[in-house]
Amino acid sequence: MLGCCLDAGRWAAPVLLAFVLGSAALADEVICPQLETHPRSATLRDEFLKSRLVVGPPGAGGRAYQDRVLSVDTKTWKYWYAYRGTEPLSEEAFFSLCGREQQAADARRHRQGANRRAGVGTVLMDLGGIAGIAGVLLLAGGGPDLADTSVPLVAGGAVAMGLGALLLIPAQSAQYTACASYSEAQEAAAAYNERLCLSLARQGE
């Protein structure tokens, strides 16, 4: 179990760094044309950059995001991240900002369900491991006389660990995927950014 956690930590650091760098680079391409010729263009553009929504898949950054998307079906692909300016957002918070409460609720249920399954799977694996170790120790210490007790413990522990793994592995995968597809997220972000752009342009008049 500890080895799995360490492996996950080693994996998470470079992915998170790529996520941050990639999001920042892609965000530079999200512009607001209505503000480019505005008398207060510089000020309003800064406000827009701080509040706009950016969606991208994991990648090395910048154009690599878009190149990678070209090789997948964005209507079904669910590995994406969202930012408001430079602030990372959960899928639920992202859709709430977009005013899409049903999708926000779906994202919340998706994440809660994945967390529950991961929790149950972890408990089953831990209990199974404990039962298996106890059975082995009993068998080693008591010999054949305790076989009737130790063997069922070992077998039950193995079954519990197997069931736990069946729950935990897909649950962990679900924790790193979104409920909505990449194309749905892009559409929601584009609509939000358009409203934000027009609102800022009107405020600056």
The predicted structure's pLDDT at residue 122: 92
- Contact present, 175 and 111 (Cβ < 8 Å): yes
Share of the chain above pLDDT 70, in %: 68
The predicted structure's pLDDT at residue 191: 93
Q: Which comes out higher in pLDDT, residue 56 or 12?
A: 56
Do you know the residue count of the chain?
205
Distance CA 171, CA 162 (A): 14
Task: Note the pTM of the prediction, 2 decimals.
Answer: 0.64
The predicted structure's pLDDT at residue 14: 34
| Per-residue pLDDT band at 94 (split at 50, 70, 90) | very high
Burial class (CB in 10 A: 0-12, 13-18, 19+), 182: buried
pLDDT in tens, 64-78: 444 444 455 566 767
Distance CA 30, CA 16 (A): 21
Mean pLDDT of 26-37: 60
Which of 62, 61, 70 minimizes the C-alpha distance to 19?
Answer: 61
Q: Based on the structure, what is the number of domains in the chain?
A: 1
Report CA 132 to chain centroid distance, whole Å. 33
- Contact present, 107 and 179 (Cβ < 8 Å): yes
Domain containing 159: what range?
2-203
Report CA 108 to chain centroid distance, whole Å. 12
